[in-house]
Amino acid sequence: MHNPVKKVAAIHDLSGCGRVSLTVAIPILSAMGIQVCPLPTAVLSSHTQYPGFTFLDLTDQMPLFVDHWKQLDLKFDAIYSGFLGSSRQTAIVASLIDEFAGDGQLVVVDPVLGDNGKLYTSLDGEMIAQMRVLIRKAVVITPNLTELFMLIDKPYREQAPLDELKEYLVMLADHGPEIVIVTSVPEDRTAKTTSVVAYEKRSKRFWKVSCLYFPAHYPGTGDTFTSVITGSLMQGDSLPIALDRAVQFILMGIRATFGYEYDNRDGILLERILPTLQAPVQISSYELL
């Protein structure tokens, strides 16, 4: 049977409030014409940056999903994992990747661990250790700067010189992934811009996309970024175009939100900008480093 719509297995938590994880990945990938099959890792009343959140760990359910999907003989064009509910889940995700491996398949692991130098509340050192193992199975990984330092086991620094950063990207790619994309990289020449830097192992090329920095923190922008990267690569975009698309989308989301007096914990006003994902990339600003 032929299904013309591409399918992605999306392994993230479901948080009832705050625009992160599945509540971001599903609308973005659907708007990009891709069918999302969610494998929830945990169900929370809100993301972990609100106080008092409830947390239902779905570790024991996950292998049952994998078994059933196997019985149904599902085929995925991509597998995309993000926030995990326990460090045991990394092995379950690894086995799902093995079970559903396919030719030319995209495997994206967003190693969600923390931000601004800090580990997210519900996670611990064991999650970092296990995430270092899981990323070996990925084709693409998308750590932010905090997660990059955690993965290479170095103390967090707010800035890293570009040459050093490039070494770290190569170091991570040597462990397995074909493409390493690091987000939230402040630019050293001025505090007013931020950038993403990517390394593509096969061609040994580094790419950078810079954009204006807004002094506001919105949870879920990492999930938004990686969801757009996943959709874009699934549609056949080149890496630098996927980077452009994801950076522009985040910037547009921040601009759509920043002007309001607003509780930033609720994330960017995604619903206002989703339709733009159906248009081709408007402005391209990537650089080859």
Give the footprint of ligand PXL on this chain (CB under 6 A): 13, 15, 20-21, 44, 47-49, 83, 112, 120, 219-220, 222-223
How far apart (Å, rounded) are the C-alpha atoms in residues 22 and 268?
15
Q: Pick the closer one to ligand PXL by CB: 200 or 223.
A: 223
Q: Pick the closer one to ligand PXL by CB: 173 or 273.
A: 273
Q: Pick the closer one to ligand PXL by CB: 15 or 194.
A: 15
Which residue type occupies 202?
Answer: R
Q: Pick the closer one to ligand PXL by CB: 89 or 206.
A: 89
CB 83, min distance to ligand PXL, A: 4
How far apart (Å, rounded) are the C-alpha atoms in residues 140 and 234?
12
CB 281, min distance to ligand PXL, A: 24
CB 13, min distance to ligand PXL, A: 5
Q: Which two tokens stand for residue 10?
A: 């999306």
Q: Pick the closer one to ligand PXL by CB: 112 or 140.
A: 112
CB 125, min distance to ligand PXL, A: 18
Q: Pick the closer one to ligand PXL by CB: 61 or 285.
A: 61
CB 169, min distance to ligand PXL, A: 21
CB 182, min distance to ligand PXL, A: 16
Q: Which residue has the tokens 């609308």?
A: 27
CB 86, min distance to ligand PXL, A: 12
CB 38, min distance to ligand PXL, A: 13
Name residue 194's beta-bridge partners. Answer: 186, 211
Q: Pick the closer one to ligand PXL by CB: 115 or 200.
A: 115
CA distances, 96 to each of 55, 67, 74, 268 (Å): 23, 9, 12, 31
Q: Pick the closer one to ligand PXL by CB: 47 or 137.
A: 47
